[in-house]
Amino acid sequence: MTTPARPGFFNRALLTRAADALAVAVAISLPWSTSATSILVIVWLAVLLPTLRLAELRRELTTAASLLPVLLLLLGVIGMLWADVTWIERWKGLDSFFKLLVIPLLFIQYRRSDRGLWVFGGYLAACMALLVASAFLSITAGPWWPNHIYGVPVKNEATQSGEFVTCIFGLLFLAMEFYERRRHVLMIGALAAALAMAANIFYVATGRTALVIIFALLLLFAAKKLRARGIVVLSAGTILIGAIGWMSSPYLRGRIVQIWTDFQSYEASDARNSSGERVEFAKKSIAFIREAPIIGHGTGSMPALFTKSAIGQTGAAAAAATTNPHNQTFAVAIQLGLIGAAVLWAMWIAHLLLFRGPGLVEWIGLVIVVQNIVGSLFNSHLFDFTQGWVYVFGVGVAGGMVLKRQSPKAAAGSAGPAP
């Protein structure tokens, strides 16, 4: 007589479902809290890692989209060897690279999961809640709110507007899909939500980088989704909305005009201001790269380099030491040279190519990659906390879903016996 086998303590199916739920929780936390996101990512990793198989890891590392983020991290590790700073500073510099390792892990998870859209739905819901909170604070003035930034419940204007931009273009794609399927109520709802987020950017919290990204993504949307007539309608609508925003929002006008006045002030007197400091960061970054063009100054070297360069300077040239030269390519090239910058751009290109298809998931992935590339011309978005994790989870989840669709046999095979 045989006794039925008892279920083992390790239940891969249960852990897999828990990892999916935790990924949704990470997406929900991203617009709201850095602490919650950090904790949830650690718990997610602890749950996901036991479910991985060696064959899955080997398969992912044969693709450029997975291998290049890992290669950039490895270059960061190797770059610690020649950095002329303390080991504590080297480890702090390496911290920005670690999140890249999550991309291939998410590829594996969402090659075999059917819950990827829950992640994006959770992120959209969290951003809609942020929009409501922002509107409430802007109406009530909210001086009692601990963040003390008008209309910004958490974090800052640049982060909030960047989060809304990703949602706007996801909703715009959905509105087009609903229109083509004659689901007009849903179309109106998607457009209303997108316009509400755009209004928040125009009237409440304008990130100037977000405005550039909006322009780039509008061009991309027209090229990917519209024909001649649609491009005319989109162009007319964009001009109309932009004109209304410009005429009716002194705040928006002030934010844009400030760029010009800052540059004039910087050129006339080397005065310290946001735009003037960015010019100085760019000049210093180029000088640092020229000193070590091939392999850079080493991981974690940026704070010491900027601090040393500010000694004895005045005006914008004496800008405070920074770990962020406000350009992602500079941030990598200063530390890892042109080799590191080449790997960075190869990674971005590989991820762009991954999302060439016409569907919603491909569009979401494309929006996230383009937003990161354009935003990284003015900020080190891949190394910033929220923007970096949005990129990692957005590309990882969307990429896994696309790879699953491209290779269903491989995805089905992952349920087989462990090697």
Tell me the per-residue pLDDT of 51-110, one tens digit each, with 9 for 90 and over: 999 999 999 999 999 999 999 999 999 999 999 999 999 999 999 899 999 999 999 999
Min mean pLDDT across 38-52, 109-123, 169-183, 225-239 is at: 225-239
- Write down the pLDDT at residue 396: 96
Task: Calculate the average pLDDT of the chain.
Answer: 86
Region of 257 please: left (phi>0), alpha (psi -120 to 50) or beta.
alpha
> What's 84's DSSP letter?
S
CA distance 130 to 328: 27
Buried b (16+ CB within 10 A) or exposed e, 60-83: beeeebbbbbbbbbebbeebbeeb
Output the pLDDT for position 245.
Answer: 76
pLDDT for residue 414 is more than 70: no
Task: Tell me the pLDDT tens digit for each residue of 344-375.
Answer: 999 999 999 999 989 999 999 999 999 999 99
In eight-state DSSP terms, residue 246 is: H
> What is the arithmetic mean of pLDDT over 172-201?
93
Residue scoring higher pLDDT (152 or 257): 152
Helix (H/G/I), strand (E/B), else coil: 327: coil
Question: For a pLDDT cut of 90, what percent of the chain falls above it?
Answer: 58
CB-based burial of residue 328 (10 Å sphere; 0-12 exposed, 13-18 middle, 19+ buried)? buried
User: What is the reported pLDDT for 268?
Assistant: 53
pLDDT of residue 17: 93
Q: What is the model's pLDDT at position 266?
A: 56
Q: Is the confidence at residue 394, as pLDDT, over 50? A: yes
3-state DSSP helix/strand/coil percent for the chain, to nearest 5?
A: 75, 0, 25
